[in-house]
Every structure is written in structure tokens, then in C-alpha cells.
């Protein structure tokens, strides 16, 4: 070091010391800015942060301005969902006393969606499924009374949580079946997809315990063409998609599920090229039920069912006809907003980026109207308010 830098440094130190002797710095004042009111474009992005799984998060993002509003810490391998009225956020998660070891505690954490404040927690049996987020792993009944949480130990069951009385009400065994599909018109009934290709439907008593169970006929072949556990509602009907591109519609009303005849997504010419669906939250349906959007990839093979989208295919749900193809944007998860000008929000798994597409015109889905780069560390799933 030369003489001049030494003299300069000495002068700075002397000035700071002199200022400290003559005046005391004021204490910092922390300011908390209120979150803007939620709108249908608010994005909840689940990030299990795979490099350090004990530190999961849900990022809350303004989908119009594409800026961060806040973040929830969600512990180890959590699942999250929103209450039916969108006022609360439910996080089922696990904590160990020594971070990655020690006594285990499983809890349902409840947060206020308006400001992300913690409200309360309910201790859970140490059984809830620990894996990447999917919609079928946790869901509320339509009246908001029961939160249903998928368990896997690996034996499958469902924990029924009474969110009114803030307690675990029951555990219902669902052997050979997985996923939670609440019936929109019946707050005491849910279904689960079974490994033999059937649908098991469970009825609840008023206290949340098991009232009865029925099993449907087989509606898909699990060995030849299994279905993804992603589902979307249109009214009281759910849609599921199979690995080879068959769309299954299931009406969840009346005394028992009613199954539509499956219809194909992939025309014969594209089938020869190996086009197939892929991703995690791999398809979305407009709230008005008019359009289905799905991520597709070529040269499909065993294990490629989670590949990012090479193309987005758009279908008219009424006619079952493909009406548009667009760049895939690397999508692995997607959702359509419930706004007056609906947008398709995509999670680009190749570039770790959120993208919003205007879906009012089927022929112009190519260029995103908004983007958000570096969306977490390893995000996999998104939900809209």
C-alpha cells in the first residue's frame, strides 16, 4: 500500500470517530408496507428448494406487475392450498428439532392471504405426503369445513382436518388409491384415483369420519395408459389426461361418478412422431370451460412424462378439436386466471421463469405479455388467487 491510501484511510477513520463523539445516530425504524388487495392475477409459486429441502417456500407474486409481494417459509417437503374463499393459505409441512434430524413435528400452518400473517397451526399425524407439490395432495371441501390431506407412509390414507374447530377430525384409509378430488356439489364427499384404474368415492359423516365408500368400474388401463394426477374442474366435471394423450371427463354429481368416453389429444400424424403430454401441472382449462391448454413434447418415451413443453396445444372442449399450436415456453406448470381478460400463466422449467400469455385470441399465444425471471430456486407448481 502506498502512503496516500494510508493517509486517506486514516482521515476517514478520524472523521467517523469525531462524528461518533459528537452525535449519536438515530435508531433505524422498520416499516412494513401493506400488501395490495388480492386479485385473480396474484400468483402463489411453490418452491421446494431442492438443494436445501428443509427450507421450502411459497413465493407470492403480483402477476400483472410481475414483482414479488412476499414469501412464506414452508419447511420440509410441504404441500399448500388456498381455502375455497381464498382468504387463507394452508401449508402442511414437517419440521425436525435439529433441522435435518431429531424429533419430527408435522403441522398444518394457516396464514392470512391478505397480508401473509401467521394465524394458527394444528398438529398433524406424521404421515402427510412429502413430495413435489400437486393439487391432488391437499384440497378443501367446497364449504370450507374440511381440509383433506393426502398421506403416504407408503400406505395411503387421508387426514381430515376440521378447520372450524381447528383439530384433526379423522383419518380415512384409501388402500391402493391416491389423490383428493372434492365433489363440488357435495361437501361430504371426495374421490381418489386407484391403481387398478377405478375411482374410489368416500362419504364423510358430519364429524368427518368415514360414512361409506363405493368403487367405480375401471375407466382407464393403468398398465397401458395411466392418468396424470393433475385434474381441472369445469362445473361439477373433472378432466384428467393420460400419458398417451387421452382426455377423460368425469361428472361428479348424483349418486355416483359418470364417465365420458375418452377422446384423443394427438392426431395420427403427430402420434407417429411421438407427441405426448408432459409436465407437472401440465394442462389448464379456462374458467368458462371453452378451452383446454396442454404442454406437449415429441419423441415421448418411458419417463418423459415430466418433460417441459415443446409446444402448447389448444383445444375446444366442446368439439374436442385442436384449434391452435404455439411455442411451448418450456412450460412444466400452468394455470388460467379468473379475470375478465384471462391470462395463461406458465412456469418455464427450462429457464426458471414465469410467463403470462393473453388467451383472448387463440391464434396469438406466441409472445408473453409479461415475464418474471429467476422465479425462486427450483419452483414446480403454481396457483392463482
Smallest CA-to-CA distance from 345 within 383, 317, 314 is with 383
pLDDT digits (tens, 9 = 90+) for 337-373: 999 899 999 999 999 999 999 998 887 787 899 999 9
User: Percentage of the chain surpassing pLDDT 70?
Assistant: 94
Smallest CA-to-CA distance from 44 within 358, 379, 328, 368 is with 379
pLDDT digits (tens, 9 = 90+) for 47-103: 999 999 999 999 999 999 999 999 999 999 999 999 999 999 999 999 999 998 999
Whole-angstrom CA distances from 325 to 121, 248, 274 are 45, 21, 16
List own/partner pairs for 319-323 with CB under 8 A and 24 or more apart.
320/247, 320/263, 322/265, 322/267, 323/362
User: What's the whole-number mean pLDDT along residues 7-17?
Assistant: 49
Nearest 10 degrees: CA dihedral of 341, 64, 52, 283? 10
pLDDT digits (tens, 9 = 90+) for 179-220: 999 999 999 999 999 999 999 999 999 999 999 999 999 999
Q: Cell 477513520 identifies what position?
A: 13
Model confidence, pTM: 0.91
Q: Cell 400419458 identifies what position?
A: 243
User: 3-state class of 8 per DSSP?
Assistant: helix
Predicted local distance difference test score (pLDDT) of residue 29: 86
Residue 2 has pLDDT above 60, yes or no: no
CA dihedral sign, ordered 184, 188, 193, 196? negative
Mean pLDDT of the chain: 93
User: Facing residues of 202 across strands?
Assistant: 190, 213
Residue 19 has pLDDT above 90, yes or no: no
User: Facing residues of 140 across strands?
Assistant: 147
How far is residue 59's CA from residue 38's CA, in Å, rounded to a whole number? Answer: 14
Residue 22 has pLDDT above 90, yes or no: no
pLDDT digits (tens, 9 = 90+) for 144-178: 999 999 999 999 999 999 999 999 999 999 999 99
- The domains of the chain are located at 267-385
Which CATH number describes the domain made up of 267-385? 2.130.10.10
Amino acid at each position: 500500500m502506498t502512503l496516500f491510501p494510508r493517509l486517506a484511510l486514516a482521515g476517514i477513520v478520524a472523521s467517523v470517530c469525531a462524528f461518533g463523539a459528537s452525535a449519536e445516530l438515530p435508531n433505524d425504524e422498520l416499516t412494513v408496507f401493506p400488501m395490495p388487495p388480492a386479485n385473480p392475477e396474484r400468483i402463489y409459486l411453490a418452491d421446494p428448494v431442492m438443494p436445501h429441502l428443509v427450507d421450502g417456500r411459497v413465493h407470492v407474486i403480483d402477476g400483472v406487475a410481475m414483482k414479488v409481494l412476499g414469501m412464506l417459509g414452508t419447511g420440509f417437503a410441504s404441500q399448500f392450498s388456498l381455502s375455497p374463499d381464498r382468504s387463507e393459505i394452508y401449508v402442511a409441512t414437517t419440521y425436525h428439532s435439529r433441522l435435518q434430524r431429531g424429533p419430527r413435528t408435522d403441522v398444518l400452518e394457516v396464514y392470512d392471504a391478505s397480508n401473509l400473517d401467521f394465524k394458527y397451526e394444528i398438529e398433524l399425524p406424521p404421515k402427510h405426503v412429502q413430495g413435489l407439490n400437486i393439487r391432488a395432495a391437499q384440497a378443501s371441501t367446497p364449504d370450507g369445513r374440511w381440509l383433506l390431506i393426502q398421506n403416504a407412509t407408503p400406505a395411503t390414507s387421508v387426514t381430515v382436518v376440521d378447520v372450524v374447530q381447528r383439530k384433526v377430525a379423522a383419518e380415512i384409509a384409501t388402500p391402493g388409491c391416491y389423490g383428493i378430488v372434492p365433489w363440488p356439489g357435495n361437501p361430504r364427499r371426495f374421490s381418489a384415483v386407484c391403481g387398478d384404474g377405478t375411482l374410489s368415492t368416500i362419504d364423510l359423516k358430519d364429524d368427518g369420519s368415514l360414512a361409506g365408500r363405493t368403487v367405480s368400474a375401471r375407466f382407464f388401463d393403468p398398465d397401458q395408459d395411466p392418468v396424470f394426477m393433475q385434474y381441472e374442474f369445469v362445473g361439477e366435471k373433472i378432466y384428467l389426461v393420460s400419458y398417451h394423450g387421452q382426455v377423460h371427463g368425469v361428472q361428479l354429481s348424483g349418486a355416483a361418478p359418470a364417465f365420458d368416453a375418452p377422446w384423443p389429444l394427438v392426431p395420427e400424424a403427430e402420434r407417429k412422431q411421438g407427441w405426448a403430454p408432459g409436465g407437472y401441472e401440465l394442462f389448464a382449462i379456462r374458467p368458462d370451460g371453452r378451452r383446454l391448454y396442454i404442454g406437449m413434447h415429441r419423441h415421448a418415451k418411458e419417463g418423459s412424462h415430466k418433460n417441459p413443453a415443446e409446444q402448447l396445444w389448444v383445444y375446444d372442449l366442446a368439439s374436442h378439436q385442436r384449434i391452435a399450436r404455439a411455442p411451448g415456453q418450456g412450460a412444466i406448470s400452468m394455470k388460467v386466471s379468473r379475470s375478465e381478460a384471462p391470462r395463461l400463466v406458465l412456469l418455464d422449467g427450462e429457464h426458471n421463469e414465469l410467463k403470462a400469455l393473453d388467451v383472448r385470441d387463440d391464434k396469438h399465444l406466441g409472445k408473453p405479455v409479461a415475464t418474471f425471471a429467476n422465479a425462486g430456486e427450483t419452483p414446480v407448481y403454481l396457483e392463482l388467487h
